[in-house]
Every structure is written in structure tokens, then in C-alpha cells.
Chains A and B, each alone.
Chain A
Amino acid sequence: MGEKILYAFISVFLTINYGFLLNGLIRKIYARVGRRHGIPFYQMYIDLLKSLALRTNIRHGVMFYLGPVFRFTGGIGLFLFMPVIFGSELFANFSFSGDLLLLLSFQFFGTLGMALGASESGHPNSAIGVTRGLAQMTAVEVPFVMALMAIAVQYQSISLHEIVAAQQGGITNWTLFTNPLAVVAGMLAVLGSFMRPPFDVVLAPQEIPIGPPTEYHSNYMVYLQSNRAIYPLAKSILIMNLFFGGATSFGEMMLKTFLVIMWSVFVGVSFPRFRVEQSIRWFLGIPLIIGVLAIVYVQFFLN
């Protein structure tokens, strides 16, 4: 067990750093698409240092502390209960049979934590900010769960480990080829949880100066930013495990998650933002229909 914890620390540490650099790279890509030189790719680290170096900070009570902690826990938890690299003890983390259901609930954990923390900060607009976030999150989950269920039925399992194991042995065994409908539905739905355009109005900080993180600074900010590094990565590891055959080495993991994240980046730089109600309508449209079709397909044609 002790070893396991140590391994978990190592894998979290590596992944967070990978996430920071990846985020820097993505900002660079955004800048280059806009024909700008862009911020340095290591800017994240400086920002963290700066936030840590603030000399004063403001407290609003216990829940205010716990908000970012919950959020960070949501990201880390999502990461820790997944087998990151198939067959590697170091990166197996704490995955167990039935973890798929746990992962689903962990996605909400962060936003709910922020809801509690932000309401304690006394910011009058935090409630509407959190509500918008949760509403969109819920709309994202619906098609995503459809895709998950299609896969669970297909492999007769809700253990991520078994799902990955079933996809080993050649590229044609990936869900991508055995159940393309579920993959399409899942990939469309997951765009909503990468916090990039067109679905980032809920947190776009410059346009809407409201929302949960308004009051957070210094150390709390460090938590939130670390979460922003690890959460999309954890999400893309989940996608990789479900759809693209998992990874058997760190290099493969990096490549596949990179490509999954690039998918959201490409969509992000090409499309303008949706308003919240528009994006909810969108998620409950095409992705949901494809998701339902995927289940029908699995149920009646695959077995």
C-alpha cells in the first residue's frame, strides 16, 4: 500500500507538470492562430509563484477554503481512480472494478465544491455563475453517459481496467473501430468539459466578471490553476482508455492525450462561443441522438 501511495504521488506530480506545459503550449497555439507571439509556455509556473508570493490574503470562512480544495480533489480524484498506463504498476493508481461509476460522480465534485465555497465568499453573482456551470455540466453528462453505457454494454463491464484490456491486441480492437457511434457521441460531449470555446462562457473570465472564482486569489488560486492543469488531462486519459485502446507506456499516454486535447483545441480556435442556453441545446441535440443510436447499435447489432 505504501508503495502505491508513493507511486500515486509520482504519477500525480509528473502529470501535473505535463499538464502545465501542455496548457502553456495550447496558449501558444491560440496566440499563433491569432497571429500573436504569445505568452511564454512556462508562464504557468511564474503565475503560480506569483500567487504564492502574495503577502496578504482574505479569508471568508471554512467553506471558502474548502471550495478550491474540493475542486482540486475532483481533478486529482478523477485522475487517481483510473489506470493511466495499462499494465504498469507505477501508473495503475487506485483503479478498481466498477470505477466507471465513481469517475462519473467525480466530474461533478469540483463544481459542487466551488458552489459551496463561492457562496461563502459573499459575492452576489456567484450563485448565478455556479448555476450556469452546473447546468452546462449536466447537459454535457447526458450524451457522455449514453456513450459510456454503450461501451459498458458492449464490453459487459464497468471496470475501466477490463475495458482497456478488451481493447488490447491491435488497433482494430479499439472502441473507435468496434463502436464508432459511441466514440463520436463521447468525443462531441467531451468538448464541453475541456473548458475551451465554444463552451467556455461559464468560466470565460474576461467577458463575464462574475462566477465562482472571483474571490479566489493567492494559495486558492494555486489550487484552481493546478486543477486546470490536471483536470483536462485526467479527462483525456479517461477518453483514451475508453475509446482509443489505453496506453502501455508513458510516451504513448502522452501522445494519445495530446491528440485528444488537440481535438478540443482545434474546435476551440475555429468556433466562436456559445451562450450557456445555446450550448445546452446543442448537447441535447446531435450528440445525444448519436449516443442513443450507439446504445441501440450495441444492443441489437453487436451482440
Chain B
Amino acid sequence: MSLEDLYRKTTISPDGEEFEINPIEDYFCTDKPEEVKPVQNILEKFYNWARSESIWILGFGTGCGAIEMRPLMTPRFDAYRYGIQWRPTPRQANLLIISGYLSTKTLKRVIRVYEQMQNPKYVMALGSCTINGGMYFDSYNTIKRLDYYLPVDVYVAGCMPRPEALLAGVVKLKTLIKTGMAEGANDYANRFDWYKTNQKAVILNWDMPDYNW
């Protein structure tokens, strides 16, 4: 789909009838995300425990680190012990692992994917590339700090972090969830405009709706 296809235009149907379409309004929901304030009670604590014990990772790899996520499924590291599973779709997943540098082209896809995940959702960023640019700090095409574009819950340092470090990151994330501090989705909703400004500053052809449900 190209940029022009997204805006209001007139098309001619096969019968020769002319009508106006506006793809952004017709196919996408234009509402902004809303904050869902967690009620601080015992039920929420219980739910937080369940969330932390059932972490579904989205199978989406960027950068070098995608290759370091695979060993986690093998007998040697066996992330399943911690209640971690891989899901193929953003709708079901609740943890998005950004496994390395993000070119602006990938960033665009990552944003779409992140926005399709449902609240509560968590982001874990691997490697120095997501922290301060790493060895790609002078690249014309990669972003240098992820937390300007998406709310990051846990950073795992290293280039590339070993699977053990990744597991340590997950354990850290679990404690964050249990204490109710991993509220990235609400943060994203609250500071939506700030995040959008940052995202649009680096993504030059923004050919999608502002919020991808």
C-alpha cells in the first residue's frame, strides 16, 4: 500500500459507479489508546501473579539478537520452566522482545505490532544497540534509544546478551510485574502524543494510521 492509497479519494466501481472512499476511516479504528487504571486490590495482585507466571513472547526478531532467543527453547536453557511460551501473533502475546538494533523500517513494523498487543503488555530490549546505539551509533538508518519510541520495561545489556542474561531479564521483569510496576501500556496511552512525535520524527513516510488497533 502506498501513501496516497491511504487518503480520501474517488474510485470507480466495476459497474462504472463513482464513489468516495477513505481507507483510514473505513478500515482502521482511529481512536487513541486509553489508560486502564489498575484497581489496587487483592484481585489485581493475584492477576499480576498470573501475568508474571505466564509470559507469552511474540516470535518477532530484529537485529542480531533474534538468533540468541532460539537457544532459550532448547534443553540447555529451557525457558519453558519459567512459564515462558512463544506465540505467533501479537494479539495473544504479552511480551515483545526487541532483540537488537532497529532500522527505521523495522521500527515502523515494531510499532504496529506493539500497538496490536493488548494491555497489559511488556517490552524487553536486548543489547547495547537498543540502549545507546551500540556499534551502530553512527548508522544512517538505526535508532539509538528505544525508550523514546516505545515504553521499555527491561533493558538487557550486552552485545549480544547471552541466553542466561535474557533469562535474568525475564526474572527481573517478573518481579516488576508482581510489584505492579510494569505498566508500559498505560504509560504509552498517557504519553501517546510524545511517543508519536518521536516516532514520526524518524519514520519519514508515515503511511499508516496513528494508532494500529
Residues of A participating in the B interface, judged by any CB pair closer than 8 Å:
31, 34-40, 43, 46-47, 49-50, 53-58, 205-206, 208-209, 213-218, 221
Q: Assess whether B103 is interfacial by the CB under 8 Å rule.
A: no
A37-B81 in contact given A56-B118, A205-B87, A206-B88 (Cβ < 8 Å): yes
Q: Which residues of chain A have C-beta atoms less than 8 A from B51's C-beta?
A: 50, 53
Q: Which residues of chain A have C-beta atoms less than 8 A from B185's C-beta?
A: 55
Q: Which residues of chain B have C-beta atoms less than 8 A from A217's C-beta?
A: 91-92, 118
Complex interface bits, B63-89 against A, C-beta within 8 A gives 1, otherwise 0: 000000000001100101101011111
8 contacts between A and B (CB under 8 A): A36-B74, A36-B80, A46-B83, A50-B50, A56-B36, A209-B88, A214-B91, A217-B91
Residues of B participating in the A interface, judged by any CB pair closer than 8 Å:
34, 36, 38, 46-47, 50-51, 53-54, 56, 59, 74-75, 78, 80-81, 83, 85-89, 91-92, 94, 118-120, 185, 213
Pick from B54, B59, B119, B213: contact of A50, CB under 8 Å? B54
Q: In this complex, which of B87, B91, B94, B118 has the most chain A Cβ atoms within 10 angstroms of its Cβ?
A: B91
Assembled-state Cα–Cα distance A119/B66 (Å): 32
Pick from A34, A49, A205, A215: contact of B75, CB under 8 Å? A34
CB of B24, distance to nearest CB on chain A (Å): 15
Pick from B59, B81, B94: contact of A206, CB under 8 Å? B59
Assembled-state Cα–Cα distance A206/B86 (Å): 7
Pick from B50, B91, B120: contact of A46, CB under 8 Å? B50
Q: Which residues of chain B have C-beta atoms less than 8 A from A215's C-beta?
A: 89, 91
Please determine whether B36 and A35 come into contact, CB atoms closer than 8 angstroms.
no
Q: Which residues of chain A have C-beta atoms less than 8 A from B80's C-beta?
A: 31, 36-39
Pick from B75, B86, B118: contact of A58, CB under 8 Å? B118
Assembled-state Cα–Cα distance A47/B185 (Å): 20
Q: Which residues of chain A have C-beta atoms less than 8 A from B119's C-beta?
A: 54-56
Chain A residue nearest in CB terms to B27: A122
Q: Which residues of chain B have C-beta atoms less than 8 A from A31's C-beta?
A: 78, 80
Chain A residue nearest in CB terms to B46: A49
In order of increasing CB-CB distance, the 7 nearest A-B pairs are A209-B88, A49-B50, A53-B47, A50-B54, A55-B36, A217-B91, A39-B80
Please determine whether B118 and A57 come into contact, CB atoms closer than 8 angstroms.
yes
Pick from A37, A50, A54: contact of B78, CB under 8 Å? A37
Please determine whether A39 and B85 come into contact, CB atoms closer than 8 angstroms.
yes
Please determine whether B120 and A55 come into contact, CB atoms closer than 8 angstroms.
yes
Chain B residue nearest in CB terms to A207: B88
Pick from A39, A47, A55, A209: contact of B59, CB under 8 Å? A209
Assembled-state Cα–Cα distance A213/B89 (Å): 9
